[in-house]
Structure formats: C-alpha cells, structure tokens
Chains A and B, each alone.
Chain A
Amino acid sequence: MKQNNKIILIICMLLGVFHTDAQQTTPIFRGQVLSEGRPVTNANIQIDKKVLHTDDQGLFSIPVIIGSTINIQITAVGLHTLKQRILLESTDSTPWIFTLERADQQIEEVEVIGLTKVKEINRQAYNVTAIDATKLHNTTLNISSALDRVAGVRVRESGGVGSNFNLSLNGFSGNHIRYFIDGIPMDNFGSSFQINNIPINMAERVEVYKGVVPIWLGSDALGGAINIVTSTKDRSYLDVSYGYGSFNTHRTVINSGWTTDKGFTVQLSAYQNYSDNNYKVTVNAADINTGAYTQNATVRRFHDQYHNEAVVAQVGVVNKPYADRLLVGMTVGQNYKEIQTGARMVTVFGGWHRRGTTLMPTLKYQKRDLIKGLDVTLNANFNLGSEQNIDTLDRRYDWFGTFKSNGSNGERSKQLYEYRNNEGIATLAANYRLSERQSVALSNVATTFDRKGENKLDPQSSSYEVGKQTFKNIMGIGYSYDVEGVWSSTVFVKYIHQNNENGDVISNTMDRFGYGIASTYFIDPNLQLKASYELTNRMPTAYEIFGDVENQQGNFSLKPERSHNVNLGANYGWKSGDDHRFNLGGNLIYRHAFDFIFNRLNNNQSQLVADNREGVSTRGADADLHYSYKNFLTFGGSLTYQLLRNKQKYEPDYTGISPVYNDQMPNIPYLFGNTDLGLTFRNLGGKGNVLNVNYNLLYVHRFWLYWPSLGGTSLSDEKREIPEQLSHDVSLVYSLHNGRYNIGLEMRNLADTQLFDNFSLQKPGRSFTVNLRYYIQKAK
C-alpha cells in the first residue's frame, strides 16, 4: 500500500471529523452490498481512506460532497473484491447496489484481508483482545488454557485437569476479574461450569477486556473481564469431538443446533471431562511414622480424580418480528473433585473431596430495532445447584498412599458440608442509535445471593448458622460517538448498589459511583491508537463477605475497592509484498487500586480471609507481534511485563513507614510471554485435506513467593521462589473432507520439565492426547 504523508492525512481527518460534526445536512451516499441476491453482512468498505462495514442488510452510508469522485473498494469473506469509481452527481434515498461475485478462495486466505468478528472486536476503543476460538476447536484446550496465550494474561494452575486456577490480567486476579458467557455474568454458575472446565469448542470467540470494561458487560470488574461468546449461528450443525490422553484423561464435546425455516430453533451442547490426574511428581515425601522426608522421591498422585459433565439445552425462536432470538433453556451440570494436596505439596490427602451441581434455568431475549434504532437484550437465570465439601476420614496420609488414624478430626477439618447459594442474575442492555454516529446505551445487572448451608456431621454448629444474603445492582449509562473507521469515543457512568445481610444480626449497604472514557483513532486503516480511563469500583463478593465455609473465612467489614485505570494502546498492521504480513500491537497500562482486596491467612492460619490493602499500583506493558507468509506459515508471540508495587505506607497498628512500602508485590508473575509457530499444508493427501502443525512455547520468569526485599537471597537463606517455567507444546491436526473429519495429536510439556505456577505445586509433566472431531453443517 502506497502511503501518503501521514500528517496531512491526520489533519484532513480531523477536519473531516470537525466538518461532519458541524453539519447534519451533509449529503449522504448510501450503498447496499449483495451477493447472489442476498445482503452481505459485515463487508469491508473502503472509500478513499475511510473504512466502514455493512450492517445486517448489507447497507452502509457515508457523508459525501456532491460533484466529487469517490474510489470505493469492497471486500468480504468468500467473495471477490470489487473496486469502483463513482462520480457523485446527486444523492438518492435508494441505495446504490454493489454485487460481489462468489470467490473460490480458501477461507483462511480471506480472513487475513476481511475483517472477522474477532478483528472487529480488537478494533474497539477498549484495551481488548479477542481469541478466535474456532481455530482451536481441534484441540482439547479448555478456555483458561487458551487465554494463557494472550498478552497480559497469566493462568496459574495448581495441577492437572479440573485443578484450581487463578487467572491474572495485568497483575489483577481472582475476583478483580469478572467472567461472562454471551454477556451474562458467570458469578452464579457454580463449580461445574467454570472457565477451567468449559471446553474451547463451546466458544466461538473469547474476548479479554483488560482494565476498562464496556458498560454492556454490566459489571464491577476492577481488573478486566472475560466474555465467552458461544455460537449464535442460526443454522443446523453438529460438532462432535472426543479426546483421550495421558493420565487417563477423556473429554467429549457435542455441540449441535437445529433451526427450521420457520425460525424454530433447538440448541444442545454437552461436554464431559474426566481425568485421574495421576501424573508423577517429585516431592520430599514424609514417612507418616518417623516424620523423615525422602528427598526428591518420585511418586504418582493417587487422589486427584476429577470429572465434570454438563448439558446446556435451549429452545426458542429466531428471526421473528417480536424477537431476533428468544430462548429458554436449562443448564445442568455436576462435578466431582478429589483433593490431593493442601496449599503445599507436603500436605497430602487421601479421602477429602468435593462435589457440586449446577441446575440453572435460563432465559435469553434479543431484538434489534424494537423501535427504530433501539436494540434490547434481556437475560435471566437462577442457579438451584448445590456444593458439598466431604472430609470424613480420620486419617493422615503420606505420599506413598499409606495412612494412619489421627483421632477424630477428619483429614483437615471434619465435615460434610452442603450449601446452596441460590444465586440469580437478571440483565438488561439497551442501545439506542440517536443518529448515524451517536448512540446511548443503558445496562442494568441485578444479582442476588441467599446462602443456606449445614454441616451434616455437626447439627449443633449448624444451628448457629444464619441466612446470608446479598443483593447487588449495577447500572451503567454510556454515550458513544463513532465515525466508522476513523475514530470513536465512549463516555460512561456506573452506579453500583449493594446490600449485605447476615441473618437478622447485621446488615450494611454500600453505594459507589464510577465513570470512564474510551477512545480510539485510526491514523490510517492499519494503524490504530487507543486510550481509555476509568474510575472503577469493585464490590466485595458474597464469598468474601460470608466465606465459603471451607477455605475462605468471611469478612463482613470488607470495604469495596476502587481503582484508577489507564490504558494506552497501539496496533499496526503492514505487509511486504502480498506474501508477508505483519501485525504489531502494544499496550501500556497503569492502575492504582485503593482498598485493594486480597486474601491473607486468618489468625489461626486455617483459612484464607479477604482483607483490604490501602493501595497497590501497577505499571505494565505488553506487546505482541504476528507474521504470516501466504497461507502457509504464521509466527508470532507476546511478551508482558508488569510491576505491582505495595502502596500501603502504614501497616495497621504501626506508626512508622512500612519497610515494604513501594516494594514489589510478592507471588505475582511479572515477566512472561509465549511464541507460536504454525505451518499449514494444504491439499495434503487429497484435495481439501489440510495438515496444521503448531508449536507453542510458554515462558514465565521466576518470581519470589514473599516480599522480594526481605531476607537473604543466597542459597542457604532458603528464600522461596517460583522457578522459571519453559514449556514446549506441539500439536498436529489433520483435517479431511474440508474439515468434516479431524484428527489431532497434542504433546504438552515436551521437555518433561517440572513446572510450577504456585509455590511447590507441581503441574503435569509430558502428556499426549489424541483428539477426534466430526463436524457437519447444513446451509440454511
């Protein structure tokens, strides 16, 4: 692409913006893009230097000057590019029709040129990264492991399949990050339905909002949000995959949808994960009788089985005058999890386990142009599921699986605790287009929590328990101004109200007000700048206030936290000839959180308790670079650096400046990255057959478990650290019959190194998985 002088261009654009802003009577050129008589949605329209996209009807419009000549270029996935010069003599109310010819190009090739939904998301003003999940559908990844490849994101796992995970986004983690499915908060989905056990095949794409979160994702996320977008294809399809791998791991995913011509639709998804997780670990294994440790003993994990099963069924109608989509559904799931170790691998369990169920009726309603310009989305669900914690063996185990009786206190804390959280969520999002460029949005999310639980082994202590309730409402109003392909800005305010009640004993109410702005500007279609700021508030969750009656102790006096949240980003794509394409992106982030909520051990060291830390600041940068050669090779990577500092100047009950004021926050990875190399061999062994070979390298720099400045760092000082991680993963996927049959082979941690995300908790060594997938779809 020949590039003009950028400065002049910027001035022109600013003038253009100014100009169009000032005059609402500017003549508008309207066009419609069709192919084989049908509208082409989301076609890429380039008129001189401006880029815009067609809507659902294939329509687009642009202000023009009568008498001028415009150069128009239209590209769309699967269609031939159309270039045309038009002399504008007058503007007409009927749109100019452009007809594109169907192309026989490979889809993959066009993706680079056309603007996929994923790329469209990435072009928003927010600091956002979207993962195209469809490219990973032939793997056995779950959503959390796919997220691990995004710049700024680090997923820390405590073990194998189904193990505890903690996703951190620019250094924020836990409840600072909120999760959504199709824009619906996942807060109440229960342990059977979490990002570490939902297969990637359930998703079409996954959006990662770092820092500022758009108001239509009504949330009080402080550090960012993850939105999983499931397939919304109004057609009939069947997608079945099964994987078998090391440690007796089985995974099955079935996704299917069926839509009649009259608009009746049934969508059914089911999945299953099972693993013994009996991988080998190297530990100092204590003899339960003498207490002597066998140094560096290699043992197999023996009590770490995990399985979960879930079915998501929805029936309803699509494309009706009263609703684009109206679906009622039921999510049913369960999980079983054996607990092998405590917070450290020296603590071994042989009987303790957990169970959980999800039973959740759902309602989804969506309508564009309910009245002209007004789009409405309504969702509601209620989780009737329950959770159980089962620790009933009075035993002490060692790593060799032998045990002895240890009185009557269970393995850790004797209980058969069962509770229901009775959590419900209702969300309403409305967007009204005031004009071509202006829109206002309103979102409201209400959540309820009402816990009832009992320890079935101790009715006496259960009788001391009282009902625990939380009601939270988040309302957001935003205004957007959008000149497509040039710049867009959103300003928004959020008001959060929360009420907590602990039986009749105590109650409190918290109200918080936040606001923000997000802007993006295209210097040219390939060079985008982004900036966003938010004063964000995060309320304590019901679990932090009331505890989970197992590992988390409640803290009713926990204060909401708030943060200044600044993001700057740039993205630039270019090519060298037609064969070499590059994309470079980078972000700078700054956060300063007040009353930062973090988990510490309680005074008896038996449970975690959430507490406020006066301040934590984060400065960080991430960058990613991607290169592709024709449709044969892709190579890329991302690198993240973040520095979190303790900004608490005075510790409780102390008057002097804290010795760790301004120290780096411990136990948080601060330098990590990944690279991937992909090769695609087309028409290998037959026309339409494709072999994909992928290599992924994950790197995490070592970091200290406790305050970096305290204690000696020589070997004899035994300062605890989480060592550097370097993991090589390779996958081969052979697709036949244009993707109908797929055979995948994955090898993870190829070098069989000892990997740790959390101090002493060793992750699996080398593993192999075979994955078979069958996919058919019927054109509508």
Chain B
Amino acid sequence: MMKNNKWTSLALASMVALGAYSCKDDGADPAPIGGNFVLAVTPIASTGVADYLLTTDDLESGTVSIKGNGIEQDGTYRYYVMHNNKFFSMLYGQGNPGAVTTYSMVGGKLNKLSDFQTETVQAFAPVNEDLLLLKIPRAITNPLANFYQVNTNSLLITNEGTIDVQKVADNGESAFFTWIKQVGNKVYAPYMSIQACCSDAFGTAFPNNAWIAVFSYPDMKLEKVIKDDRTSFIGRYFRDGLAEDEKGDVYAFSSSVAALGGVFNSTKPSAVTRIAAGTTEFDKSYYFDVEAVSAGKNITNWIYVGQGKFVVQTTTKEEKGAYADGKRLGILDVYNKTFKDVAGLPEISTIKAITYNNYTARDGNAYVGIALTDGVSYVYKVNAASATATQGVRVEGGSITAVSRVE
C-alpha cells in the first residue's frame, strides 16, 4: 500500500500548494480617525453598496480611507440629513420601502440609535422637531403625493397624509416638489410643473414660471401658491433652491433647466429671486440675472455661508443638463449681485464630481467635497471673501459624496 499512500499524499500536497498559491494578501489599513465631521464615501466600483461613513475631527488636513474603515451604508443611493443632533442616513429604495438609520455622535464615533422604515421619498427636510418626507408621484394617473412626519425624538412616523399635486399645479400638469424648507412656521415647497406622461414624465409645457407651494404645519394644508414669471422653476430635481438669510429673507435660485422632449424650453436665464421676510410673495423689486454676471453660467446647487454670500456650483451653457451638478465653483453675493469664480480648484478635467451635500458654519467658509478622476477625493475649504479654495483632508478608497458635522 506504499504506492497508494504516495499518490494520496501527492494529491494532498498539491491541494495544499494550491491553497497557498491562492492565498489572499492583506494590505495595511490606516487606523480610523474619530471626530465630529462625517464624510460619506462611495466605492468607485459599485456593487450595490452606497457609501461608507468616516468620521474625522479635521477637514483641513490629513488622510482618511475606507480601506478597512467606515460604517457600511446599504443600498445604491443614500441621503443624509442632520437634525436634533442626530445623523439620518436615508435609503433611496425606488418602489421598495425606504429605510432610515439614525446615529448620534459619541466620542467622535457614530453610534447607531435605531432603524426605522419609511417610504422612498424625493424630498426631506427638518421641520420643528420632525423630519418631513415627501413621496412625489410622476405619473398623471396618480395625483397623490404622500407626506410623512418623523419625530426625531421617538424616531417614529407620527403622522402621514396626502397632497393632490394636480390640484397644486392647477394647469393640467402635475406639481413635482424640488425640495422643501421650513420658513417661519410654514413649509415652503418649490416645484416644477411636469406632464407626468408620454415617455417624458419630467417634460413640461410651462417652462417660464416659478412656483412655491406654501403649507401649514403640521397639518400640511395648502395655503397658497406663490408665483413668479421672471424665472423658470426654483431648484432642481432633488436639489434645494431656497435659502434663508440672517434677516429672514428667503432667496431662491432657478437653474433654468425646464425641458420638453429632452430640449430646454425656458426663455428665462438662471437667476435669483427673493421673498422678503414676513411676506408670502416674490419681491418684484429684487431680480438677479446670474447668467449676465457669470459669462452665461447657470447655478446648479448652492450653500449659504452667511452675509448674503453663497458658494454655488455652476455649469456653462455647454455643460448644462437637467440633472447635472456643476463642476465649477463660484461665490455669489446676492446683496451686491456679484459673481466670482473660485480660484485654487483642481483642473476641471480631473474633477469627477463635486458633492452637493456640504458643510458650513455660516462663517464665510464652506467645506466642499471634490472627487477626482484618479479615484482620490479631497475636501476643499472655500472662502467666500477671497473666492479661493484650499485643499484639505485627502480621502482614499472611493469618491466623496457628502460632508457634514454632527454635534
């Protein structure tokens, strides 16, 4: 039986050899850094995972990596909102139910508080102690949007109801809320009018009007629709077009990206308008044509950093798209009606994307995530006064998608 043993051991030896040959090499991973800033980073080779959440105490220097670090966020798309000292990570689940994971900050680390189920929604914002969520239909056969009020203390849905978006639009089309914002004790919901049919759901025959639906809270009664015909609709799909300054004036931007059949059909330029504090009408005395002062660029996103100044993302006429987030940064001063390009940014051809969910302490600076095409990302500190950007923390292993802070 010697022979048998020999052959058996030969076979076993080859198995062992193969095991060794296929062994996985483990790279060294930098140790996780804690802190109150939360960075969301998405892997650049998608496999259905949204992001990894990293925490750091310094946005202006150092390196963080999702290799071996970070809290995994399930699902392809995740959206984040801070309210009541809690960090909400919301799953965009299309027709499936959404899910929300809530974290608090404990010792520089995110600490999971709970999960709860919601619907997949297209707009959400803090209102009083709640998060208000809107699920908005895009088919003319379905006139009802759903709203959900989530109490941020109990972390439960405490109230829900419907809004007839065809009645809101009142023009034969459907109102699709671009975003929602609490102003005083009201909820402002700017919307685009969409035909909601005909293989071009977001097309519209009303490209030259702006609307903001005003709701009472918490009963969400439609009180009025503020209208303006100097701009196209306010905000954009899934992007917040409103900001309230220190005086309580509300500023609104229009991207001018209304379209029909895939062709832009608004004759109005990208512009900023205003609703003066204490009123619920557009201020006819205020109009700021952004294209006229920015060599034809249009605003795609903005963040208010205080004293009438915004850090804005823009696209040129050539780059313009209904869902395109601009890769150019500018400083918009809505008091003085000026625009300045930001200096110190990476060459635009090396920019993969600029994050639209960014952090500011309203001290004249914004911290903006810039993902580069080589797969590395940086947080840039953008100073509004000097219109310069300074490279900060380096992010490795994926592309940055959000910058925020939790107390």
Contact = CB atoms under 8 A, between A and B. Distances in A.
Contacts of B66: 710-711
A709 B67 contact: yes
Interface residues of A, number: 75
B112 A342 contact: no
Contacts of B92: 605
A342 B14 contact: no
15 contacts: A287-B117, A289-B157, A290-B158, A291-B116, A293-B115, A293-B117, A460-B197, A570-B11, A588-B14, A655-B350, A655-B374, A655-B375, A659-B67, A706-B72, A717-B71
B137 interface: yes
B142 A646 contact: no
Interface stretch (B21-29, B258-266, B282-290): B21-29
Given A712-B68, A718-B71, A654 B374 contact: yes
A289 B146 CA distance: 13
A84 interface: no
B11 A713 contact: no
Interface in A401-416: 406-413
Given A289-B157, A572-B11, A651 B72 contact: no
B44 A588 contact: no
Interface string A620-631: 110100000000
B97 A407 contact: no
A714 to B, nearest CB: 9
Given A291-B118, A347-B96, 19 more contacts: A6-B3, A292-B116, A292-B155, A292-B156, A412-B96, A601-B76, A604-B94, A606-B94, A651-B375, A657-B375, A659-B43, A659-B375, A664-B24, A707-B43, A709-B67, A710-B52, A711-B68, A711-B72, A718-B72
Interface in B144-186: 144, 146, 148, 150, 155-158, 160, 162
B6 to A, nearest CB: 10
Most buried by B among A409, A705, A712: A712
Interface in B35-81: 43-49, 52, 66-72, 74-77
A709 B375 contact: no
Interface in A447-500: 460-461, 464
B396 interface: yes
Interface of B: 1, 3-4, 7-8, 11, 14-15, 18-19, 21-22, 24, 27, 32, 43-49, 52, 66-72, 74-77, 92-97, 99-100, 109, 111-112, 114-119, 137, 139, 141-142, 144, 146, 148, 150, 155-158, 160, 162, 197-199, 350, 352, 372-376, 396-398
Contact of A286 (B116, B141, B352): B116
Given A408-B142, A711-B52, A619 B72 contact: no
B352 A654 contact: yes
A572 B11 CA distance: 9
Interface string A718-760: 1110000000000000000000000000000000000000000
A758 B45 CA distance: 21
A617 to B, nearest CB: 10
Contact of A651 (B4, B7, B45, B116): B45
B141 to A, nearest CB: 6
Contact of A667 (B15, B47, B109, B119): B47
B156 A290 contact: yes
A164 interface: no
Contacts of A440: none
A72 interface: no
Given A651-B44, A710-B398, A713-B68, A656 B374 contact: yes
Which of A605, A621, A711 is most buried by chain B, counting CB atoms within 10 A of its CB? Answer: A711
Given A286-B97, A712-B32, A717-B72, A654 B375 contact: yes
A396 B46 CA distance: 29
Contacts of A720: 49, 72, 74
Nearest to B73: A718
A3 B3 contact: yes
Contacts of A378: none
A574 B74 CA distance: 52
A619 B21 contact: yes
Q: Which 5 A-B pairs have the closest CB atoms?
A: A656-B374, A286-B117, A656-B375, A291-B116, A706-B49
Contacts of B114: 293
Contact of B1 (A576, A658, A667): A576
Nearest to B109: A716
Interface in A309-332: none
A290 B70 contact: no
A432 interface: no
B67 A574 contact: no
A425 B197 CA distance: 39
A601 B95 CA distance: 14
B68 to A, nearest CB: 6
A668 to B, nearest CB: 11
A712 B71 contact: yes
B125 to A, nearest CB: 18
A579 interface: no
A694 B141 CA distance: 58
A503 to B, nearest CB: 15
A411 B95 CA distance: 8
A293 B155 CA distance: 11
A584 interface: yes
Contact of A409 (B76, B137, B199): B137
Interface string A294-320: 000000000000000000000000000
Contacts of B141: 408
A409 B77 CA distance: 21
B19 A621 contact: yes
